[in-house]
Structure 1
Amino acid sequence: MAPTAVPARASGRERHPCRAHAAPEQQHPNSSEGALVGDTQRNRAAASAWPARGLDVVRGALIGTAETVPGVSGGTVALVVGVYETAIGSASHLVSAARLAVADLPRGRGPSRAAAEVREVQWRVLVPLLLGMFAALILMAGLVEHWVETQPVQSRALFFGLVLASLWVPFSMASRAPLRGGGTASWRPGEILIALVSAAAAFVIVSLPPGEVEATPVVIVAAAAIAVSALVLPGLSGSFLLLTFGLYERTLSAVNERDFGYLGLFALGALLGLASFVKLMQWLLTHRERITLVILTGVVAGCLRALWPWQDEDRALLAPGEHIGAAAGLCALGFVVVAGFAVAEHRVASRRATADLRAAEAARSEDTMILTPPRDPSR
């Protein structure tokens, strides 16, 4: 006798191999447990967001503190603590939103294009950063002003160690950046030469003696527009530029005394400077990342000249003299602090990348299990 036909249910399974997976009880016998696990993961992610935002406030405070110190770059600190590209990208979207709003609204096009740019801003990172920066600027201005004035050798020694250790950040980023033809490689001879030229140019610029100009509104706006570039260009110190223009102490006094007239003009100049430099820097990091980082490495190295502990009022370098022991200890302390930050950031980034990779592999495995039909036991 001929073999009996396969039952209709079995043949139906053959015609629709994924139908057996449509029923929740067949997909996940413990679906309630799966939902509970998903809720638990979401709750953990939400709970971990608060410490992350608090850490962003601390990062912003470090950047703000750096901006009060001549020779220490807020952009360099942003690089060290790992928020530089996020901050530049968000600022670029804000600049684009303002430009589109000015262009579209008078023509009746509506705010849709500007709103799309605003939605690209990473507010969860940017807002805590700004809060930390402004709080540090207000709280630290008086303390830093007093310490820099009364302990110039010790303060510059500490800052020298901080900036020296921060050289590793753009140096290593340049080594990992892709080449024009694809792939990566360590520093090449031409790039070393470019870095040396950049370092020499920065060395000459920071050797200029401090100036003294009248604080007219035009001068304040122009100086702020140039000084704020330090937030965009790692290695460049906004406070040092203000010191060169002769406006450093005047600006710190305005912050301490709440001189809102001066601060309003300074803020206007800062906005104009950001609108000019942010888009340029984002384009360079997107299209010329490696050579940009090579140049920044040279600039940071050249700016170390401004932080040599022993120099006269005209910034002429002197041989080591008084407070050698204290200067050496503070320099070492600054180096260790930044190096520790860099190592900690690297470990956090590595753990985060590993966790993301495992989550992606788990998601792919789950998708494969759902889409693969069960084997027909009758075969």
Structure 2
Amino acid sequence: MGESVKYYVLLILRGMAMGAADVVPGVSGGTIAFITGIYEELLDSIRKIGPNTLKALLNEGIPGAWRQCNGAFLASIFGGIAISMVSFARMITWALENHPILVWSFFFGLVAASVVYIFRQLTSVSWREIMALAIGLGLAVFVSVARPVALPDYWWVVMLSGSVAICAMILPGISGSFILLLIGIYPVFIGAIESFNLPLIASFLLGCGVGLLAFSHVLSWLLKHYHNVTLALLTGFLMGSLNVIWPWKQILETTVDRHGEVIPLVQQNILPLTYESLIGLPSQLWPAIGVMFLGLFLVLGLEAISNNMSRCE
């Protein structure tokens, strides 16, 4: 019983880490799932929600349907994600506003280490894996430099945005929050969480559910039939996402949202010393390097914990 409780507590903590990552534009909760060793089980569990689950519900009741879709696992993960998004939305927003370089540096170190971690999972490297990595890298860079647009915050727009963003959220390296930022829905999404705007939250969650059920089948099938190539593609996504989360940026163009707040529209990466001369603010180079290494060691620590858990199971 004690081991079971410990297992689900750790699942909730993994979900909370995924939720915290998904709130930040540029970081993917899928990356956290992959690092902590639950990625493929997560996809398989989501994929099981369908006709067989309905059949189990009719024949065996709620307990049968719960077992069919690995309900305890999914409830722990998504419960952790929900707790994290509600708890950390304000904190992460504050941190990005007041200490952006340190926050982005931490995630840069985390994602850079994740690139190495996922690449090490490849059992072989041929021209197929190299091509898949290049395609993933190219797509991620293209998304990262795409010009953001602004969409209205109607419920159906938020729902469609959720269905697109959730596909990115479960892909390591492609940030669902960054997709929301590109289409101009991110401030609406964060604002809805902070103010508990239930209609918008419900619309977003409905879109997420539809998109997640559809996309999980595709991704799960790819991992089962083209495991190495898919991992190489995901590694490319991660590598490309480093362009998004480079800590030192120069804002070239801004826009004003519907609340009158100025938000960056077009940015370019610059070197730390150039940052000081162009922006006129400290580059915080050494603290930034320190938190980059913190992100690196966190990934290594998560990998070690996951390996120990795998040996104990």
Instruction: Report the TM-score range of the alignment, normalised by the length of the smaller protein.
Output: 0.7 to 0.9
The Cα of 1:113 is off from its aligned counterpart by: 9.8
- Taking a change above 3 Å as real, the CA distance of residues 270 and 97 of structure 1, as seen in their structure-2 partners, is farther
The Cα of 1:89 is off from its aligned counterpart by: 1.1
Residue 148 of structure 2 corresponds to residue 196 of structure 1: no
Matched position secondary structure for 1:315 = strand
Query: Higher mean Cα deviation, 205-214 or 303-312?
Result: 205-214
Measured in 1, the distance between the counterparts of 2:51 and 2:286 equals 51
Residue 226 of structure 2 corresponds to residue 293 of structure 1: no
State the match for 2:269 in structure 1.
317
State the match for 1:255 in structure 2.
193
State the match for 2:11 in structure 1.
56
Letter in 1 for 2:40: E
Q: Among residues 163, 168, 171, which one is paired with 1:225 in the alignment?
A: 163
Letter in 2 for 1:346: N
- Cα contact 2:27–2:174 (8 A) shared by 1: yes
- Cα contact 1:209–1:315 (8 A) shared by 2: no
Aligned 1:70-109 pairs, distance under 5 A: 70-97=25-52
Q: Report Cα offsets for 1:22-58 as digits up to 9, x if no partner.
A: xxxxxxxxxxxxxxxxxxxxxxxx2211111111111
- Taking a change above 3 Å as real, the CA distance of residues 349 and 168 of structure 1, as seen in their structure-2 partners, is farther
Residue 282 of structure 2 corresponds to residue 282 of structure 1: no
State the match for 2:307 in structure 1.
346
Letter in 2 for 1:339: L
State the match for 1:361 in structure 2.
none
Runs of 4+ in 1 over 6 A off after TM superposition: 113-117
State the match for 1:330 in structure 2.
291
Structure 2: where are the runs of 5+ without partners? 252-265, 276-282
Measured in 2, the distance between the counterparts of 1:114 and 1:214 equals 42
- Taking a change above 3 Å as real, the CA distance of residues 191 and 113 of structure 1, as seen in their structure-2 partners, is farther
Identity of counterpart residues, as a percentage? 28
Alignment size in residue pairs: 289
- Taking a change above 3 Å as real, the CA distance of residues 289 and 114 of structure 1, as seen in their structure-2 partners, is farther
Q: Report Cα offsets for 1:45-100 as digits up to 9, x if no partner.
A: x22111111111111111111111111110110111111111111111113446x6
Measured in 1, the distance between the counterparts of 2:49 and 2:97 equals 37
- Cα contact 1:210–1:245 (8 A) shared by 2: yes
The Cα of 1:210 is off from its aligned counterpart by: 2.9
- Taking a change above 3 Å as real, the CA distance of residues 151 and 302 of structure 1, as seen in their structure-2 partners, is same
The Cα of 1:351 is off from its aligned counterpart by: 4.2
Measured in 2, the distance between the counterparts of 1:160 and 1:130 equals 25
The Cα of 1:128 is off from its aligned counterpart by: 1.8
Measured in 2, the distance between the counterparts of 1:47 and 1:218 equals 44
Structure 1: where are the runs of 5+ without partners? 1-45, 105-109, 176-185, 353-379
Measured in 1, the distance between the counterparts of 2:307 and 2:294 equals 20
- Taking a change above 3 Å as real, the CA distance of residues 266 and 97 of structure 1, as seen in their structure-2 partners, is farther
Measured in 2, the distance between the counterparts of 1:174 and 1:96 equals 34
- Cα contact 2:132–2:230 (8 A) shared by 1: no
Matched position secondary structure for 2:49 = helix
Measured in 2, the distance between the counterparts of 1:264 and 1:154 equals 33
Measured in 1, the distance between the counterparts of 2:192 and 2:230 equals 35
Matched position secondary structure for 1:86 = helix
Q: Among residues 107, 111, 136, which one is paired with 2:58 in the alignment?
A: 111
Matched position secondary structure for 2:69 = coil
Measured in 2, the distance between the counterparts of 1:47 and 1:146 equals 37
Q: Report Cα offsets for 1:151-180 as digits up to 9, x if no partner.
A: 2222111111111111133322232xxxxx
Which of the two has higher C-alpha Rg? 1
State the Cα RMSD in Å. Answer: 2.2
- Cα contact 1:210–1:246 (8 A) shared by 2: yes
Letter in 1 for 2:269: L
